[in-house]
Structure 1
């Protein structure tokens, strides 16, 4: 199956979950992240605001105030990472996705220890299927970001044995679902 069809099918499946099921599975993902050494040792974590029933990481944001959180803002064809705390407001940005305000402090790549990556799907080799905009592909292709530890965040049904990949796709270091955290490289 090609990426476009696979993306459409998985997004439909994700959006068919009940609110209760989505919340329970999201909470389990947060629990798995909280027990991972990659997360517990990280001081600065890049994350995302849940959109279209992506796994919800808000319990992490609210319960781990010892971390510095970075949230993305789409600027042109790039992601800019802004420092964010739970008491900061957000605005609706590109594609209808919540984003930090443009005047929030910007985080540099030197500060970042861990990136929690939103995904439509991930495979057992660590490759991800995104939304098709290429924002994370461009981020991970930049030399300064290549050694940052990345964890793809997906529900179990979207953790597949293999995804179609393109030459520019870079594997993530780990994948976290509601039942497991698998380090792939």
Structure 2
């Protein structure tokens, strides 16, 4: 199978950004993550939501866990099952399981979230660009989710550090742009 140009670029970009993210000192990572949480908490998009889909930080992704103790919101997290993501309610008193990628996830028996209940999706990634396209890890989970009709209309916020908010990401025809991007310095509407 031959890789065309943009796939090679994506592979290289993934490697560079992952290395940069993982070389952050813990204190810097914590501080910048907290600033992203503050950006979210001051956004009406976030404060007016009731049910929010989020993620558990993995490989030094911005950590949003300080938000998850706020019981004003109902929080949903993904479980990766085969090629798709299943969303389950979780609150800070519940225990967690470790999924197939070594990422924390709700237990299979946790209550399932239906698309119509969801007000906002916080989307992790390695990078986002000024057009709202994100660079994920290559599994296509969020692309599949966001291209299904019942999820496509949900407001999405890409969550990345400033250094990963870049001018342009190589785009494939199946990539779906996000509506907003939050970094430690700003929340941008796209």
TM interval, short-chain normalised = over 0.9
* Alignment correspondent of 1:165: 171
TM-score, normalised by the number of residues in structure 2: 0.95
Q: Aligned ranges for residues 19-34 of structure 1 at < 5 Å?
A: 19-34=26-41
- Matched position secondary structure for 1:31: helix
Q: Of residues 55, 63, 85 in structure 2, which corresponds to 1:56? A: 63
Between the aligned partners of 2:41 and 2:13, the Cα distance in structure 1 is: 30
Aligned length: 183
Between the aligned partners of 1:102 and 1:160, the Cα distance in structure 2 is: 36
1:179, distance to aligned residue in structure 2 (A): 0.2
Between the aligned partners of 2:160 and 2:95, the Cα distance in structure 1 is: 26
Between the aligned partners of 1:178 and 1:94, the Cα distance in structure 2 is: 30
- Matched position secondary structure for 1:179: coil
- Matched position secondary structure for 2:101: helix
Q: Of residues 92, 96, 115 in structure 2, which corresponds to 1:90? A: 96
* Alignment correspondent of 2:134: 128
Q: Aligned ranges for residues 13-162 of structure 1 at < 5 Å?
A: 13-62=20-69, 64-162=70-168
* Alignment correspondent of 2:5: none
- Matched position secondary structure for 1:71: strand
1:164, distance to aligned residue in structure 2 (A): 0.4
Gap regions ≥5 residues in structure 2: 1-7
Between the aligned partners of 1:170 and 1:150, the Cα distance in structure 2 is: 11
RMSD between aligned residues: 0.7
1:44, distance to aligned residue in structure 2 (A): 0.3
- Matched position secondary structure for 1:95: coil
Between the aligned partners of 1:149 and 1:174, the Cα distance in structure 2 is: 8
1:118, distance to aligned residue in structure 2 (A): 0.4
Between the aligned partners of 1:66 and 1:181, the Cα distance in structure 2 is: 21
1:94, distance to aligned residue in structure 2 (A): 1.5
